């Protein structure tokens, strides 16, 4: 999906949702690759937002405004565990995903604190 020429951010998001539903820890690297690609494409879309708006390109302006972080966050939380915690720590300083990374870590640590 990442290398598909017609693949869009929402397509990447659908794959991330499927990975989250499966919940297999061995898919964390693929989920990270999808998130990294989404963040990269979001950055590009935001950089071109004004030009897309000037042209009246509704699809491009909508893409620049859409965030899928909550769905990537949910996928990581469904998987949980050490591999997700390790991945989430690496996103804490990422402007577009840092808050979600913190919530992922909180969701992993909450059961540990109550036990």
What does the pLDDT look like over 3-46, one tens digit per residue?
776 788 889 999 999 999 999 999 999 999 999 999 999 998 88
The answer to whether residue 113 scores a pLDDT higher than 70 is no
What are 68-81's pLDDT values in tens digits?
A: 999 999 999 999 99
Sign of CA dihedral 7, 8, 10, 16: positive
pLDDT, mean of residues 74-98 = 96
Tally of CB atoms within 10 A around 29: 11
For the cut 60, the answer to whether the pLDDT of residue 109 exceeds it is yes
CA atoms within 13 A on the CB side of 67: 8
**Binning pLDDT at 50, 70 and 90, where does residue 115 land?**
low
Distance CA 65, CA 42 (A): 8
């Amino acid at each position: 999906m990442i290398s598909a020429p017609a693949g869009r951010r929402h397509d990447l998001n659908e794959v991330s949702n499927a990975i989250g539903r499966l919940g297999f820890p061995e898919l964390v690297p693929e989920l990270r690759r999808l998130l990294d690609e989404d963040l990269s494409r979001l950055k590009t879309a935001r950089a071109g937002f004004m030009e897309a708006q000037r042209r009246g390109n509704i699809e491009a302006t909508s893409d620049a405004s859409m965030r899928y972080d909550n769905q990537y966050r949910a996928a990581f939380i469904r998987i949980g565990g050490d591999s997700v915690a390790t991945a989430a720590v690496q996103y804490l300083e990422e402007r577009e995903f840092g808050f979600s990374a913190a919530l992922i870590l909180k969701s992993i640590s909450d059961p540990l604190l109550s036990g």
